[in-house]
Amino acid sequence: MDNNAILNVAHLNIKFGGIIALKDINFHVPRASITALIGPNGAGKTTVFNCLTGFYKGGPGSKLTLSSKNKSNNLVEMLGEGFKLQDFINPPAFVKRIYFKMFGGTHLVCRAGLARTFQNNRLFEEMSVVENLLVAQHMSLEKSLLKGVFQTKDYLESQERALDKAHDWLKFFKLDKRANDIAGELPYGEQKRLEIARAMCTSPELLCLDEPAAGLNPAESAELSELIIRLRDEHRISVLIIEHDMHLVMKIADHIVVLNYGEVLFDGTPAEVRNSSKVIDAYLGKE
């Protein structure tokens, strides 16, 4: 286990019926770096993301540790893992388990500092661009319903701060002219950028991007990779990215994890991956 890593994935495994989708996955994401997760179709890349955000529950023994916001978060526990036999003789663990069963879930992962995007755009299409970003900042907004109804000073101030932050990110992603447009009416490339902007509004430390460049033209794709590099350098964001566009991956990644048939095939720098015969065999087949 690497202490400098923001995310440690250890012994992650998951089965769907008889199919073993992930088998003992181990890797880590170093802090303030770009890690790419690549592999042929069906290798289990998106499944890893889904385990991180709680759509799937990892099998027994899976450990996902997110070291963010100055503490170490056990994601499996946060997402409400099943009872274990030893819980029944350990009341504190039992209480904790019940707590996370009742109040745990995806939202805690986000609050711990992990944000993700999807392969397909999942914006709130009927809301305006700036509202999409405000939704993501609800934790920093005054939550009291009464304060909202009476528009108290605290509420308006917190709203002002949220708007400022939203505009900063819109500027960063070059969407500031679109602030009041309806999100569903933006062109595809801008929607993709808005998704990342919205994820950034939750103040994450780890950003998980699922095929951000899919469907973008080469110019848009180059612009996006520029933005991802700036996120790492200017904002010290750690990025875990799934991507099929190898030019983009080789250009921006500091570290690449290759998956194949639910196993980690190779783990190393882009140069090492390029020269690895194992990876080439997996992609192109053996000679």
Partner 1 sequence: MDLHIFIQQLVNGLVLGSVYGLIAIGYTMVYGIIGMINFAHGDVYMVSAYLSAIAIALLSIFGIASAPFIIFVVLIFTIIITSCYGWTIERVAYRPLRGSTRLAPLISAIGMSLFLQNYVQLSQGASTQGVPNLIKGNLRIGEGNDFVQITYAQGFIVISAIFGMLILNFIIQKTSMGRQCRATQQDRTMAGLLGINTDRIISTVFVLGSAMAALAGVLVTLNYGTFDFYIGFITGVKAFTAAVLGGIGSLPGAILGGIVLGMSESLFSGFINTDYKDVFAFCLLVLILIFRPSGILGKPEVEKV
First to last CA, the chain: 36
Candidate ranges 28-36, 80-88, 89-97, 151-159; the one touching partner 1 (CB under 8 A): 151-159
Out of 37, 66, 76, 136, the residue judged to bind partner 1 by CB under 8 A: 136
Three-state DSSP class for 258? Answer: strand
Candidate ranges 68-76, 100-108, 232-240, 253-261; the one touching partner 1 (CB under 8 A): 100-108
Q: What is the token pair recorded at 73?
A: 């978060």
Cβ proximity to partner 1: between 110 and 170 the closer is 110
Sites for partner 1 among residues 170-199 (CB under 8 A): 198-199
105 binds partner 1 (CB under 8 A): yes
- Residues in binding contact with partner 1, number by CB under 8 A: 36
Out of 106, 119, 152, 276, the residue judged to bind partner 1 by CB under 8 A: 106
Separation CA 60–CA 8 (nearest Å) = 16
Candidate ranges 3-11, 38-46, 68-76, 136-144; the one touching partner 1 (CB under 8 A): 136-144
Q: Shortest distance, CB of residue 141 to partner 1, whole angstroms?
A: 4
* Type and span of the H or E element at 256: strand 255-260
Sites for partner 1 among residues 8-67 (CB under 8 A): 53-55
Q: Shortest distance, CB of residue 214 to partner 1, whole angstroms?
A: 17
Separation CA 27–CA 9 (nearest Å) = 5
Q: Shortest distance, CB of residue 85 to partner 1, whole angstroms?
A: 24
Beta strands in 60-172 (DSSP E): 63-68, 71-74, 114-116
Separation CA 142–CA 122 (nearest Å) = 25
Q: What is the token pair recorded at 138?
A: 């609800």
148 binds partner 1 (CB under 8 A): yes
Phi, psi angles (nearest 5°) of residue 278 = -60, -45
Q: Shortest distance, CB of residue 136 to partner 1, whole angstroms?
A: 5
Three-state DSSP class for 135? Answer: helix
Cβ proximity to partner 1: between 181 and 263 the closer is 181
Distances (CA, A) of 121 to 117, 133, 242, 245: 8, 15, 15, 18
Three-state DSSP class for 75? Answer: helix
119 binds partner 1 (CB under 8 A): no
Q: Shortest distance, CB of residue 286 to partner 1, whole angstroms?
A: 38
Distances (CA, A) of 191 to 184, 197, 207, 219, 274: 8, 10, 17, 16, 32
Q: What is the token pair recorded at 246?
A: 């190898």
Cβ proximity to partner 1: between 60 and 184 the closer is 184
Q: Shortest distance, CB of residue 219 to partner 1, whole angstroms?
A: 28
128 binds partner 1 (CB under 8 A): no
Residues forming the site for partner 1 (CB under 8 A): 53-55, 103, 105-107, 109-111, 115-116, 118, 122, 124-127, 131, 134-136, 138-139, 141-143, 145, 148-149, 151, 155, 159, 198-199, 202
